[in-house]
Structure 1
Amino acid sequence: MKTMKKRNNIVLIGFMGVGKGTIARALYKEIGLFPLDCDDLIESAYNSKIKEIFAKHGEDEFRKIEKKLAKFIEKNINNAIVSTGGGFYKVPNLKKLGTIIYLKSDFDSIIKRIETSPNAEKKLAKRPLLKDLNEAKKLFDKREDEYEKVADFIVEVSDKTPKQIVKEIKKIIKGPKDGNSLNRTCKS
């Protein structure tokens, strides 16, 4: 039987707008692992915004692009914080990419977070699946259990600051007092 080799990355999953990129950048400041944003990498590789890729090629093609990116991460990226798109959790090799941390929030908190951000209009515009909030809520409800199934750890983020969330993730990374950790060095 072939064993699954896991990369030494922190992989943040969760619904669109939950703050995966924000937390990746905040973690970088605390632990020094470089943050990589999957959507930014895709936009750079295809020289198009996510919403343009969706409009031109459709969601199925976008998911194929995510699978290609996941293979790239598996083969080439180590010791990084990977913030993913909301549907990235479906890539077949997810568990090989690193330790999967689900940033869990209720739907209303996510929408409130986006709507009250300084660049709210831009954040909503770049998320084509949020155009119809009723459909987005159905998608959220469907994905919530799926995120939990693939996650190694779940961090509740509703009504918490990035600093509080980072503190919780640092505890996960360090592991229990018995020395069982994820092999990551945290700055103190």
Structure 2
Amino acid sequence: MLIGFMGVGKGRTARCLADQTGMFALDCDDLIESYANKRIRTIFSEDGEPAFRELEKKAARWLEKNVNASVISTGGGFVNVENIKAIGTVVYLHSDFDSIIKSIKSHPNAEKKIKKRPLLQDMEAARKLYNTRLPIYRRVADVEVFMADRPVARVAEEIVERVKMLKLKKS
């Protein structure tokens, strides 16, 4: 399972990992949107962030009970679900805040990428959120991988190597 701040590249990395390993890539935000039949930004605007967080918890329970041998990319706040460790190995994709924002803004669809993330509408508040979540990501993670300025294929290769080593150490 991939965790990290919004925009760090969890979905892109999950798809690359899926290509490299033959597993399916699942996106938690896509699951939530499908279940709620609403976009994330609509859930936030119509129902509020607490309602979205409840949907994350519901998705986490479903993932724990029903999904194996898959690469799961999560939303930035998914790290707070109680059963995160029960779902699988947790990989924290780390990048500093400025690199994340720079990467999003340099994307061809930058405006759309920022608009779809309600918590990025206020950059000062987003930076505070990043700083609040950083120690949580690190505490929950089984593995931490640095993302900034690295090809996603190399990041995916490193994840595969490090998760294999982690599993060998546990056995």
TM-score normalised according to structure 2 size: 0.96
Gaps of 5+ in 1: 1-10, 184-188
CA-to-aligned-CA distance 1:80-133 (integer Å, 9 cap, x gap): 000000000000000000000000000011001111112111111110000010
Q: Deviations over 1:58-78 (max 9, x none)?
A: 111110110000000000000
Q: Where does residue 3 of structure 1 map in the other structure?
A: none
Aligned residue pair count: 171
| Contact 2:95 2:146 (C-alpha < 8 Å) held by counterparts | yes
Q: Secondary structure of the residue that 1:118 maps to in structure 2? A: coil
Matched residue, 1:92: 82
**1:70-89 mapped onto 2 (5 Å cutoff):** 70-89=60-79
Q: Which has the larger radius of gyration?
A: 1
Partner of 2:164: 174
Compare the two structures and name the one with the higher helix fraction: 2
TM-score by length of 1: 0.88
Shift of 1:174: 2.4
The AA in structure 2 aligned to 1:99 is T
Contact 2:143 2:163 in 1 (8 A): no
What SS class does the counterpart of residue 90 from structure 2 fall into?
Answer: strand
Query: Alignment identity in percent?
Result: 51
Match of 1:61 among 23, 38, 51: 51
Structure 1 match to 2:130:
140
> Aligned letter for 1:145?
P
Runs of 4+ in 1 over 6 A off after TM superposition: none
Unaligned runs of 5+ in 2: none
Which stretch of the first structure deviates more once superposed, 47-56 or 164-173? 164-173
1:173·1:182 contact (CA, 8 Å) conserved in 2? no
